[in-house]
Structure 1
Amino acid sequence: MCPPERVPGAQRVIDEAAEAAGRAPASIRRVYNVIGVIGDGHGAGLVGDPARWVDTLSEWAVGLGFDTFVFWPAAEPESQLAVFAGEIVPAVRERVASLRSAR
């Protein structure tokens, strides 16, 4: 797993490899696995209320260049996935679109 603080260096490696292969770096899908718990709880990874998830994933999308997140719930997978798909994903899409259009 690549912690967020190491992502910029990893992204540069991907960009350089894409260019060396004759591909545009922007054409490479950037996927990040996210383990955690939405809401009150304890565990590894990202833990917090939906607002924290939206803020964090939006920041990672815009600031670190990710376009896809794979969610690995650390507890109660069915209810966590329902919140992720129903609340977090739409809010992150909206926030990222707003942030990117403001650039």
Structure 2
Amino acid sequence: MVRNGSGCPDPTYEQALPAIRREENIRAREKRYGVKRGETVHIIIDIKDEGRRTVKVSRRMQVVNLYEHHILLRHKTGACESYQYNEFLQILDRR
């Protein structure tokens, strides 16, 4: 553990570095995939209808967080859905 000037243990330094690194990784993912946290995106989802046909539905979702392997989206009703990045980029409707 790192010690401060008076010789007492200082856990703040060790806790700050992982948080800074995590934030840098999230910002890199935002830049890589072209979406930011808090942004509203439109996605197109195929839903099976009762009559055996597939209907395309456009949903407005808010980006909650970008994790290492998936992205978390929240619908206006509060329901959350997560997608892997390759799947998300396929259903993303760039307007």
TM-score range for the pair, normalised by the shorter chain length: under 0.3
TM-score (norm 1): 0.22
CA radius of gyration, larger in: 2
* More helix, by proportion: 1
Greater RCO, 1 or 2 (C-alpha within 8 Å, sep 6+): 1
TM-score (norm 2): 0.23
* More strand, by proportion: 2
